[in-house]
Amino acid sequence: MGIGGRASNSGVSFVSDDYSAKFVMHKDNTYTVSVEKLKDLSKIRKTVKKIPLVKGLFSMIMSGRIIVAIMILAIVSDLAGHSESVGELEVHLLLYIITAIGLSFCMIYIFMTVIVRAKQTRKFHGAEHKTIYAYENKIELTLENVRACPRVARRCGTNFGVFFILFCILFSIFLDYVSVSLILSYILSYELFDLKNGEKVPVIKWFIKLGGFFQQKLFTAEPTDDQILAAIETIKKLTSGKVF
């Protein structure tokens, strides 16, 4: 069973092909762990994940509101540039205003969720990585065992980000449309990120090491014992196959 994870300021979540489990720490120091069965898309996901390029596009669409919003804003920005080139001044100004407002909201969202709340998120991120490593390597999920596991993960989104930035730079040289560059960069980055045994390919291996450096120094931190225990409890409930 392949498991993915995500960390936030208030907890950690894990997802398999069929279930998702989420740990949330509340302000009154109580917590909840919920497990939900995913909508009946597992067969679709499994099929799509086998189709090159299409699986990257599917991942982009399903990745979350902020990614989709940025892609939409890029398309709007390209339309604004096109309207300017053909002399449609009113349309051009309106589209640029929409783009500016949208980007402002995106930047505020990123600032609040990634920077302001980064400290606890980084620790939960570390707990997520350690717990998944232990589970996938069939290590008993005890506090001592998980604490000793590495914080760097091969399938962390940070590695994907390294590939994505590289392709964005390359495509920006040859393509005039930002939206096309972003979409192509996402799809091709996903192919490298998802490549089986990609870490054995010399060039990909170098970028994965770079992603690991950023994981270690910027995007994860050593978790507390309570955060590790939270991640262990959550992943155990996920793999139990019961809905809570």
pLDDT higher than 90, residue 71: no
Q: Could you tell me the residue ranges of all domains in the chain?
A: 51-236
Contact, 10 vs 113, CB < 8 A? no
Task: Write out pLDDT tens, residues 198-207.
Answer: 778 888 888 8
Residue 131 or 108, more confident: 131
**DSSP SS3 for 228:** helix
Q: What is the pLDDT of residue 241?
A: 67
Q: In this structure, how many other beta carbons lie within 10 angstroms of the beta carbon of residue 218?
A: 11
Q: At residue 34, what are phi and psi to the nearest 5 degrees?
A: -115, 145
For the segment 14-26, the average pLDDT, to the nearest whole number, is 89
pLDDT higher than 60, residue 117: no
Q: Which are the contacts of 211, defined by CB distance < 8 A and separation ≥ 6? A: 156, 158, 159, 160, 161, 162
Task: Write out pLDDT tens, residues 158-197.
Answer: 888 888 888 888 887 887 777 778 888 888 888 888 887 7
